[in-house]
Amino acid sequence: MRKKHAPDIVVGRLPLYLRMLNQLAAEGRSTTNSQELGRRLGISAAQIRKDLSYFGGFGKYGSGYDVIYLRDQLRRILHLQRSWPVVLVGAGDLGHALANYHGFANNGFDIVGIFDNDDKKIGTIIGRHEVQDVALLEKSIKETGVQIAILAVPASSAQDVADKLVDAGVRGILCYAPVILQVPPEVKVQYIDPVARLQHMVFYVGEDS
Amino acid sequence: MRKKHAPDIVVGRLPLYLRMLNQLAAEGRSTTNSQELGRRLGISAAQIRKDLSYFGGFGKYGSGYDVIYLRDQLRRILHLQRSWPVVLVGAGDLGHALANYHGFANNGFDIVGIFDNDDKKIGTIIGRHEVQDVALLEKSIKETGVQIAILAVPASSAQDVADKLVDAGVRGILCYAPVILQVPPEVKVQYIDPVARLQHMVFYVGEDS
């Protein structure tokens, strides 16, 4: 399969293309092209054509892309035609915000359980869920077969929780804690790190100040 | 200056190196090397040496890097020796979580004002701040000279708020809304997009399921 060969950085841009195609579809547009996608995303048209070429030919020469067709193909490539159950660990301020964020469910990521280790939080209701004792986390994951977890715990407990998640069978972790997790190579970790993004930004802003 | 030539993707890895050096310093370590950094970060040692070489020579051949020296040099390169005032727009669940997150202040990003357009939120206290009317946003930015903003508003109002921020002089925007902002080229935008990170992850997880 050709997609096996796509570099990770290319895979990381597919969600961006998908988002833009969703936006174009919402605007009622039926066709687009690499020039328009590039202009709106701040990426070169050549880069977009090269990225997509890893996965097949999606446009007719000179006539661009069919918005709905390309969107559906990207969804298929990214394995988004099914919905993905997700466990959320951490019911603090961030956990609350994540549990109440509709963007996950709207994009096929359904939070099916929320866990915390704080007696004051266990048993409280967030959105549709009752916060469960983190002691039940592994049992719950093994019973339900959930493969994806969102980690919204303090840095000090992130690795411990990650170890439990991996032991229970989780294959992908979205980590909000400011740490670098040590996990087996078959487990995928993505980090949400606003401080790193701000630091990246001020490299340029500070240059011109 | 050599750093002008570093590709953006290299600049984006510097905060990761900085985080690891902070972690090593906290562990009491005085020296490290590209092999160790690479192993702990999941990046090749050669990549780390190449990335750092854009900014100077930081190690002696064969003896590795001095942790504190390299950390301080990275802080200087990223313009983190000063602290950066930041405005936060959006006082919903996410805004609350961000306002209460100590990681910003601990890394030199001080939230100096919180704004919202909801009468029920204006005047309430979050952390050390009283939520202000977003109508005062431009005036406040112009008076204080703040250059960095965090955007935690719904997608539907993100572009409008971004336009106001840019007009008022903001040079960098950390955007939590699931949109692609249109801004002038001199304004830097970084996106926090957990859905895109989950989609990136399930490309691999779905492959093996």
pLDDT, one tens digit per residue, over B111-166 is 999 999 999 999 999 988 999 999 999 999 999 999 999 999 999 999 999 999 99
pLDDT band for position A3 (cuts 50, 70, 90): very low
pLDDT score recorded for residue A1? 45
For A106-128, what is the mean pLDDT? 95
Least confident of A46-55, A112-121, B40-49, B61-70: B61-70
pLDDT band for position B105 (cuts 50, 70, 90): very high
Least confident of A7-11, B4-8, B19-23, B155-159: B4-8
Q: Which of residues 156-195 of B touch A (CB under 8 A)?
A: 171-172, 174, 178-180, 182, 186, 188, 190-195
Q: Closest approach of chain A CAs to the CA of B59, in angstroms? A: 22
Residue A60 makes CB contacts below 8 A (sequence gap 6+) with: none
What's this model's pTM, rounded to 2 decimal places?
A: 0.91
Q: Which pair of structure tokens corresponds to residue A169?
A: 């069978």
Q: Name chain B contacts of A103, Cβ cutoff 8 Å.
A: 178, 194-195
Q: Closest approach of chain B CAs to the CA of A188, in angstroms? A: 6
- The beta-strand segments (E) located in chain A are 31-32, 59-60, 64-66, 84-89, 109-116, 125-126, 129-130, 132-133, 148-151, 172-175, 188-191
The strand pair at B125-126 and B129-130 is best described as: antiparallel
Per-residue pLDDT tens for B172-202?
999 999 988 999 999 999 999 999 999 999 9
Per-residue pLDDT tens for A21-46?
998 999 999 999 999 999 989 899 99
Cβ–Cβ of A201/B195 closer than 8 Å? no
CA B150-B153-B159 angle, 5° bins: 85
Q: Which pair of structure tokens corresponds to residue A7?
A: 């570099």
Q: Does B146 touch chain A (CB under 8 A)?
A: no
In percent, how much of chain A has pLDDT > 70?
Answer: 96
Q: Does B31 touch chain A (CB under 8 A)?
A: no
pLDDT band for position B60 (cuts 50, 70, 90): low
Interface predicted TM-score of the whole assembly (ipTM), two decimals: 0.94
**Residue B18 pLDDT more than 70?**
yes
Amino acid identity at B188:
K
Tell me the pLDDT of chain A averaged across its residues.
93
Q: Does B154 touch chain A (CB under 8 A)?
A: no
pLDDT band for position B2 (cuts 50, 70, 90): very low
A131 neighbors A152 (Cβ within 8 angstroms) = no
pLDDT score recorded for residue B189? 95
* Distance in angstroms (rounded) separating the CA atoms of residues A11 and B37: 24
Per-residue pLDDT tens for A71-83?
999 999 999 999 9
Per-residue pLDDT tens for B68-94?
999 999 999 999 999 999 999 999 999
Q: Does A199 touch chain B (CB under 8 A)?
A: yes
Cβ–Cβ of B147/A96 closer than 8 Å? no
Cβ–Cβ of A107/B199 closer than 8 Å? yes
Q: Which pair of structure tokens corresponds to residue A150?
A: 């969102």
A193 neighbors B104 (Cβ within 8 angstroms) = no
Cβ–Cβ of B79/A205 closer than 8 Å? yes
pLDDT band for position A129 (cuts 50, 70, 90): very high
Q: Between residues B23 and B174, which one has the greater pLDDT?
A: B174
pLDDT score recorded for residue A62? 67
**Residue B101 pLDDT more than 70?**
yes
pLDDT score recorded for residue B1? 45
Q: Does A86 touch chain B (CB under 8 A)?
A: yes
pLDDT band for position B65 (cuts 50, 70, 90): very high
DSSP characters over A136-150: GHHHHHHHHT--EEE
A179 neighbors B104 (Cβ within 8 angstroms) = no
Q: Name chain B contacts of A194, Cβ cutoff 8 Å.
A: 98, 101, 103-104, 150, 174, 192
Residues recorded for chain A: 209
Q: Does B11 touch chain A (CB under 8 A)?
A: yes
pLDDT score recorded for residue A2? 45
Cβ–Cβ of B172/A204 closer than 8 Å? yes
DSSP characters over chain B: -GGGGS-HHHHHHHHHHHHHHHHHHHTT--EE-HHHHHHHHTS-HHHHHHHHHTT---EETTTEEEHHHHHHHHHHHTT-SS-EEEEEE--SHHHHHHHT-HHHHHTTEEEEEEEES-TTTTT-EETTEEPEEGGGHHHHHHHHT--EEEE-S-HHHHHHHHHHHHHHT--EEEE-SSS-----TTSEEEE--HHHHHHHHHHHHHHT-
